[in-house]
Structure 1
């Protein structure tokens, strides 16, 4: 086992399996709700607590650090990013993460920092009432996006086109703080990068597929395909823009996941995070580029990995598409086994069974399953997903 010790906050099964496979010395901190019994048995040691209680986290970690010091603190889950940054500063391991998390979790502050650096010029405002949105529409025109300042997984993200919609929007579910900003027009992408002592390497660009009318919230992601089918010139523009954004926000080390739109004015940022992407993007990266980014996440801060000299070259395409059934009670599901054995299906997950109630799809957590496929091209990978999904029959009885 490697002697250098890592504190993993809110790490899932994939992260822990990667740590175990690489003989890492680590302590897992996880909440009772999220820590599954099989994972508890697998990890060398675990601290079960609410890690968002940062005072309690410091109180419990301090004596453990004194007895057997930690050399890095890592989290890849959105609720764990702030606690991980704070505890890394508290232990004297890194102050950089605090600044980065502050400017990425707070989407209004992100806009301010990017605008101050001259990287972007999108004007966002704090929303404290529906009249703020109406005033913003008057000044900037429609449509606009309203979203929680610290949101995730498309929760609460709403496209507003009229003053009537602005007046009727329920702001109570946005955590008390929301922003409004212009709605960007253009295809949407996410960019996975890794920063090596301030040098940013774009590992992969993924094209996003939005749900549209298939979901109650049309902005929820219906799928992703990697690598994105982009012309070389556009890819270069995206890479240069991402590097400028990461510089402006203080990224120097570790992973980043940045969501952008390619507008008629060039790439424009939607949001960014100092973590890898969700929605199984790390699985797509492994399938398409044969690169396990989790190994870099774990090894780089310990000095156990060499920096990537250049972006990895994709060996094939990989895509994920999500199940988007209509709401109601599930009467019957059929065809899932036939779908699993369709050509080039890499993974199939269905999280509902007969008798379950399917909620309206308002955010990423409402999607009840997915299929992942590979292909020689992005188009082929997506077509393979479509063929597998067409095999699955979900009969819904309307509520």
Structure 2
């Protein structure tokens, strides 16, 4: 065992491949500071795909000297996985990317005396009921149903419909449903595992936003508001179909209300250091909390802020993990990601008529490079992102996993970026075939139309 002084300094990164492929530049950023990147990949990472990328000299993961792959995200499993990292290296930071390791990462960083959101804040951010208890002034009307197998009695007392039923600990809109009345609520309860904790709350009407925040020792250093679209109109689901950073169409008073609510939330949960991602709805003069996460935002939001500000967020994430104060410039452009409607069937191909490559990020294990341009440059199609694999079945968007293809566009701050996205998306064509087609030729297809 090396002594503390002789052991090489390192950063432990906790993640899954599907998430980290958005943040591959962190590897070079860690190395540029004379630190060794050490990885622990979780249960959502396919072992064969991880081995493929680590063995590919063109992939950044090939430069990683050590990577542990574990079967679950429990704290004891994490500790066993990083045991040799803690003995053979001087760990300077614990950097979590993704939802599944939020809670154990918070506990590990706190135990090591390293910067992080804090074990308490990390726990609250992984449980929606705890979020309601910690910030009651921001909560919609709600009831804790308890375990799904025992929830019917409590559910009978609920009279405020329509309502939203959601699991307390899932992510990516999984299991979140709108229920119209008591009968529908009872029927829906039978669809959840009997031991799953459930939350029932009023359905808040109003535009949805997320607030991304960099926090240093409890001080908010930077906050950005992202506008959201979902498929909730005409469906029972709340799958996110688009993001715009910074959000457009907000008055100064509305921005102030969102930022004040976010700052109050972070104080309430005792968030210390790191990045937070909180989702709110503006309803009349009020702000209602949907949920908060202690990790980088999902989808392309970090990339949208890169395009909007001209600077990537990954260096700031590492700064915070190391206990250093980062700086983030103000937005100078606006960027938007929108998911495209697709036909049902087996995904065959995605093509783009413009000179923009189609990036199959799950297959390649990497997102494309995002290059900011001058503030007044015309609106442009930046990327075409495919998050499913050829041969997979496409169907309903009941949660985030049902989406397949998105485009990223950016433009001047005063541009109608929603209109630009709809126009530029027409260059994209999604082809599907019937399951079992031997040649893979698409029997159905759709040009790029933005999702609901």
Give me the TM-score of the superposition, normalised by structure 1. 0.87
Tell whether 2:156 aligns with 1:135: yes
Shift of 1:105: 0.7
Aligned residue in 1 for 2:175: 156
Match of 1:185 among 199, 205, 208: 205
Deviates more, 1:125-134 or 1:143-152: 125-134
Q: 1:121/1:155 Cα in 2 relative to 1: closer, same or farther (>3 Å)?
A: closer
Distance 2:187 2:403 in 1: 26
More helix by share: 1
Maintained 8 Å contact 2:332/2:413: no
SS in 2 for 1:18: helix
Aligned residue in 1 for 2:411: 375
SS in 2 for 1:78: coil
Aligned residue in 1 for 2:301: 281
Match of 2:120 among 94, 99, 109: 99
RMSD: 2.9
Match of 1:337 among 333, 353, 360: 353
Match of 1:165 among 176, 184, 187: 184
Aligned residue in 1 for 2:361: none
Maintained 8 Å contact 1:225/1:378: no
Aligned residue in 2 for 1:323: 340
Aligned residue in 2 for 1:27: 38
Aligned residue in 1 for 2:133: 112
Shift of 1:114: 0.9
Match of 2:13 among 8, 24, 35: 8
* CA offsets 1:149-182 (integer angstroms, 9 cap, x no match): 1010000000111222112214444661111011
Deviates more, 1:32-41 or 1:197-206: 32-41
Runs of 5+ consecutive residues of structure 2 not aligned to the other structure: 1-6, 358-377, 436-452
Distance 1:50 1:378 in 2: 47
* CA offsets 1:327-363 (integer angstroms, 9 cap, x no match): 2245x65752337389611110235677542132211
Distance 1:28 1:52 in 2: 14
Distance 1:334 1:135 in 2: 47
* CA offsets 1:35-91 (integer angstroms, 9 cap, x no match): 343454132322232351432332343343133221221112111112212322443
Aligned residue in 2 for 1:196: 216
Runs of 5+ consecutive residues of structure 1 not aligned to the other structure: none
Deviates more, 1:119-128 or 1:61-70: 119-128
Q: 1:378/1:325 Cα in 2 relative to 1: closer, same or farther (>3 Å)?
A: farther
Distance 2:433 2:157 in 1: 41
Q: 1:301/1:354 Cα in 2 relative to 1: closer, same or farther (>3 Å)?
A: closer
Deviates more, 1:16-25 or 1:103-112: 16-25
Distance 1:125 1:385 in 2: 40
* CA offsets 1:242-272 (integer angstroms, 9 cap, x no match): 1000000111211000000001142111000
Aligned residue in 2 for 1:43: 64
Shift of 1:136: 4.4
Give me the TM-score of the superposition, normalised by structure 2. 0.78
Q: 1:53/1:210 Cα in 2 relative to 1: closer, same or farther (>3 Å)?
A: closer
Deviates more, 1:370-379 or 1:90-99: 90-99
Match of 1:144 among 141, 163, 167: 163
Maintained 8 Å contact 1:133/1:166: no
Q: 1:73/1:232 Cα in 2 relative to 1: closer, same or farther (>3 Å)?
A: same
Match of 1:206 among 209, 215, 226: 226
Tell whether 2:255 aligns with 1:235: yes
Distance 2:321 2:231 in 1: 37
SS in 1 for 2:266: helix
Tell whether 2:144 aligns with 1:125: yes
Maintained 8 Å contact 1:16/1:43: no
Alignment coverage as a number of residue pairs: 389
Maintained 8 Å contact 2:73/2:100: yes
SS in 2 for 1:73: strand
Distance 1:194 1:132 in 2: 42
Q: 1:67/1:397 Cα in 2 relative to 1: closer, same or farther (>3 Å)?
A: closer
